[in-house]
Amino acid sequence: MTATIPFIDLGAQRRRLGKLVDDAIMRVVDHGGYIMGPEIATLEADLAAFCGAKHVLSCANGTDALALVLMAKGVRPGDAILCPSFTFAATAEVVAWLGATPVFVDVREDTFNMDVDSLAAALATAREKGLKPVGVIPVDLFGQPADYDAIEPFCAREGLWMLCDAAQSFGAHYKGRKVGAIGEFSTTSFFPAKPLGCYGDGGAVFTESDEMIEIMRSLRVHGQGADKYDNVRIGMNGRLDTMQAAVLIEKLKIFPDEIAARECVAQRYEAGLADVATTPKLMEGATSVWAQYTIRAPGFDRSAFQEALKADGIPTAVYYPRPLHRQQAYGHYPAAGNGLPVTEMLAGEVVSLPMHPYLDEATQDRVIASARKALGS
C-alpha cells in the first residue's frame, strides 16, 4: 500500500512560511482590530500594486465579491446576465439572488472558457425570451484568463458590462494585462484551495471605476452613508476579517514564486502526458496560475481512470461533473439557443490531477507514471 499524496498541499506551504503567518495572526490578536483593522487597507493596497488595478475592495468571499458588483450595477428582475454553465455555482447564483436571469453560454473545447460565438447566440436567446441583457460574466476557469480579445469588444459593441470571475486566475496574465486589471470589474476568491488562499473565507473586487468603488464600499457595510447609522442603500455584511488580511499579506509576498513553481509543474505534466491525453492549452499571450491541471482522455472510462490512480495513492477530482444548466436549481434558466454541446462533452471527460507549488519531481513522476499506466501506455 503506497501512501496517498495530497491533491493540494497546504501543509508544505505552511512549513515554508514558518512563523511569518503565525506572527501576523498574533499581531491582530494583540491589537484587537478584528473588524476592518489596519491590515485591511494594507492588503487592498498590496493587491492593487500586485495586479495594477485602480481600486481594490476586500470582502468576505468570492461569492460576495460577485454580488457586490451586481448590486452596484443595480441588477434587477428582468435583466439577463450571460455566463458559462461550465463553472462553479457561485457565478450564476449571485445573478439569481437579485432576481435576474442567468443565460448560459457554451465554452471552447481548447481552453474550457467562454466561447464568443455561443455568447452571441445566448444574447439572441435572452432577447427572444423578452429579457433585457445587461452584462456578461466570463470565468477564467482553472486559472487561465478567458478570451478577452473577443469578449471585451463584443460587450462594448452590445452595450453590456463585463465582470471577470477571476476566482481561479488571480496572478495570471493576458496579453500584457494582469488579472484584476482586465475590464471594468473583476472579482477573486481567497478560499484556501484557490491559488492565493487565506485561512478561511475571503475575496476581493477590482475595479477601474471611481464611482463604483465608493458604492461597493458602502454596500460592503449595510449600505452605509455618511456614518455607521446612516443607511443610503440596501447592502450586506461583506467585510473580510482582519486576520485573513494578515494571512494574505504574508502569502502575497511568496505568491510570484509559487506561480513560477506551478508553471514548472504544469510544464512537466505537459511533457509527461501530452502524448497519451488531451492536456490543457494556453491561448497566445495568456498565462495560467493552474488552479487546476485538467486533462481529458476521450474514449476512456473516467471512473476507471480515477480508481486506478486512487489505488496508487493519487487523488483526482472532477471539476465539474454536472454543468449548471443540468442542475436542479439552475435547469430552468435559458441556455444559448443552439445548446451547450462542448460543456456537455467536457463535463463527461475532464479530470484534474494533483496541482500545487510544492509538488516535487519524484511525486509528480509517480502521478505521471500512474496516469500513463491507467491510460494503457
User: 191 or 293, CB closer to ligand PLP?
Assistant: 191
Tell me the closest approach of the beta carbon of residue 370 to ligand PLP, in angstroms.
Answer: 27
**Displacement of CA 25 from its chain's centroid (Å):** 26
Q: Given the rule CB under 6 A, which residues bind ligand PLP? A: 61-63, 87-88, 90-91, 139, 165, 167-168, 189, 191, 201, 203
Q: Minimum distance from CB of 365 to ligand PLP (Å)?
A: 29
Comparing CB distances to ligand PLP, the nearer of 24 and 141 is 141
Q: Report d(CA 327, CA 340) in Å as an integer.
A: 14
H-run or E-run covering 186: strand 185-189
Most distant CA pair in the chain, distance: 67
In eight-state DSSP terms, residue 180 is T
What angle do the packed helices 361-374 and 242-273 form, to 10 degrees? 50
**What is the closest distance, in whole angstroms, from the C-beta atom of residue 12 to ligand PLP in the complex?**
21
Contact status, residue 138 vs residue 113, Cβ threshold 8 Å: yes
C-beta separation of 101 from 81 below 8 A: yes
Task: Give residue number: closest CB to ligand PLP.
Answer: 62
Minimal distance, residue 68 CB to ligand PLP, in Å: 12
Could you tell me the three cell numbers for 149? 480579445
- The type of residue at 302 is R
Q: Smallest distance from the beta carbon of 241 to ligand PLP, in angstroms?
A: 13
| Min CB(317)–ligand PLP separation in Å | 13
Decide whether 84 or 272 has the Cβ nearer to ligand PLP.
84
Nearer to ligand PLP, 135 or 272 (CB): 135
58 vs 91, beta carbon nearer ligand PLP: 91
Nearest to ligand PLP of 272, 323 (CB atom): 323
Question: 220, exposed or middle or buried, with CB in 10 Å at 0-12, 13-18, 19+?
Answer: buried
- Per-residue cell: 112: 474550457
Q: Which is nearer to ligand PLP, 90 or 340 (CB)?
A: 90
Judged by DSSP in three states, 354 sits in coil
Joined together, the cell numbers standing for residue 169 give 486566475
Per-residue cell: 363: 511525486
Shortest approach of ligand PLP to residue 323 CB, angstroms?
A: 13
As a whole number of angstroms, the distance between CA 354 and CA 367 comes to 8
